[in-house]
Amino acid sequence: MTLTTDDTRAGSLDRDALYIGGRWVKPATDEVLEVISPSTEQVVARVPEGTTADMDAAVAAARKAFDEGPWPRMAPAERIEIVQNLSGLYAARLGDMAELITTEIGSPISFSNLAQSPAPWMQIEAFLAIAREFPWESTRPGALGADVMVRHEPVGVVAAIPPWNVPQFTLISKVIPALLAGCTVVAKPAPESPLDAYLLAELLTEAGVPEGVVSIVAGGREVGEHLVTHPGIDKIAFTGSTAAGRRIASLAGERLKRVSLELGGKSAAIVLDDADLDATLEGLKFIGLMNSGQACVAQTRVLVSRERHDAFAQALADAVSGMKVGDPFDEATEIGPMVARRQQERVEGYIRIGQEEGATLLTGGTGMPSGVDAGWFIRPTVFANVDNRMRIAQEEIFGPVLSVIPYETVEDAVRLANDSDYGLAGTVWTSDDAAGLDVARQIRTGTFGINTYTMDFAAPFGGYKASGAGREFGPEGLAQYTELKSIYLSSPPM
C-alpha cells in the first residue's frame, strides 16, 4: 500500500466496521469520525465513531475471553509464539504504518519512518526478549521454613488509551506487554488517529490472536470515560495530558482499578560551558522539536550559563530558523503541522503569552510560515531571556517553541531544571561524562540522557511528579500487567 493524495481524497482509507472481539462488526450507530489531514485541512478518511454501546460489546468480549477463553491459560511460551508471528507481520508493513500516521496526524514522513513506525516494532521485539526471561513463576525460601512460590498472573481486562501524537508507539507499549502477560485488551484510539490502530487490528488477526482477546474502538472523551469506569475493566493504561491523567486516576481510585499513567512533560536540557556547540545544537533541534514539538519528552527548556546565554540563544535561533516547514510527505520537511486547528491556536496563544511576559522572541512567532497557505502550521519559535517562572517555561505547550533560560552556576541549573511540576525527561550537554553523570543523578525525572536522549525499550520509561505513575518498557513495564500471587508450600514443588 502506497498512499497518495488522490487515494486519501477518494476515501480509500474509509472503514465501515469496528474491531470488536477480534472481528469486524457493524457499529451500534451510523455516526462517523472524519479524519482530517492537518496539512491540507481535507477529510482523508471516515470511520465509525464508537459509542458506549460499542464499548460495552468490546468489554463483554474481552471479559469472556479472559474469564473463559484460552489466552490467559496458555503457557507464556504459547503467547510468545503468537506475538512473534505479529512481529514478523508488523515488520513487513512498516512503510504502510508510517504513511498512515503521516496522513492522519501530519507527522513529518522522515520522523514517521524513523520513529513512528519502526520504534513500535522494536518494542515488540524487546518485549518478546523480556518475556522469554521473565520470572513468571519462581520459588524462594520462606522466612518461616517452608518454600514460597511467587507467580506473576495476568491482571485481567486492560483498557488501553493512547494519544494522537505518537499513536502506534503508545498503543504498542500497552497492547504487547498486556498480551504477553495473558491479559485481554480494549483499546480506544484518539479520534484524530484511528487509522494506524485499525491496521494493527488486521495484523493481530493475521497473527493468530484468538477472538475476543483484543478490541479496538475509536471514539471521543465520553466513550473513553465510559471505558475507564466500566465494571468489566481491571486495569487502565493511559498516555496523554496531565489533566486527563488526573481525571482517570480519580475515577480509577474510586473503583480501586489498577492504573498506569504516562503524562506530560516540560523537560530541561542543561548546556554546560564545555559542551560542543555544533553537536549540542543538532541534538537540541531533534529532542526539542521532534514530531513538530508534539512530544511529551520534548526538551523545550534550554538552560545555558548567563555568560554564554546570548550567543548560544542566537545560534539556536539561527539553527531553528533554517528548519524546513511544510508538506509532511516531503522527505526534507522537519516541521509539519499541528494535529488540529485547536492545537495551532493553543500554541500561537502561548507564543503571544511569551511576548507579553517579556521574553525575547528571536525567531518564529505567530502567523503562517513563509510559503505555506493551508494547514495548521506553526513557525518554529525560540525565546531568549526566559525566566523559569514564566508560563512558557512552566506549562506544556506541545508545539515547536523553545525557551532559553540563563543560569548562574551548575547548582542553579539543577535547581531550575527541578523547578517544574513535571519530571519526565531531560539531558545534559558536556564534554565531561563524569560531570554529566553527576548532574543526571540530581535531576528529578524518570529518564535522562548525557549528550543524547533516547528511550531504550530494555529500560523503564515514565515520570516523576505530574508526569505520571507507573512505568512502561523493560521488565518493569511487563510487570505492570501482572498481579503477584504467593503460594505457601508444605512440600517442595515437583
**pLDDT tens digits, residue range 366-404?**
999 999 999 999 999 999 999 999 999 999 999 999 999
Nearest Cα neighbor of 473 from 456, 449, 487, 488 is 456
Pair (351, 473) in one structural domain? no
Number of domains in the chain: 2
List, in order, residues 6 or more apart from 95 with CB less than 8 Å away. Answer: 2, 113, 117
262, 334, 348, 472: which is the annotated catalytic residue? 262
Identify the band that residue 12 occupies on the pLDDT scale cut at 50, 70 and 90. Answer: confident
CATH number, position 198: 3.40.605.10
Neighbours of 485 (CB within 10 A): 11
296, 334, 396, 472: which is the annotated catalytic residue? 296
CA 248 to CA 480: how far, in whole Å? 17
pLDDT of residue 494: 62
Quickly tell me which residue has 500471587 as its cell. 485
Pair (143, 35) in one structural domain? yes
Termini Cα distance of the chain: 53
Pair (258, 273) in one structural domain? no
Task: Report the Cα 145 to chain-centroid distance in Å.
Answer: 46
Pair (129, 233) in one structural domain? yes
Strand partners, 262: 239, 468
**Tell me, what DSSP letter sits at residue 293?**
G
Pair (275, 246) in one structural domain? no
pLDDT at 6 over 70: no
Tell me whether residue 64 is in a domain.
yes
Pair (215, 278) in one structural domain? no
Tell me whether residue 392 is in a domain.
yes
Pair (306, 254) in one structural domain? no
Q: Is 296 a catalytic residue?
A: yes
pLDDT at 2 over 50: no
Pair (212, 322) in one structural domain? no
Residue 99 is part of which domain span? Answer: 5-263+468-486
Q: Is 262 a catalytic residue?
A: yes
pLDDT in tens, 325-353: 999 999 999 999 999 999 999 999 999 99
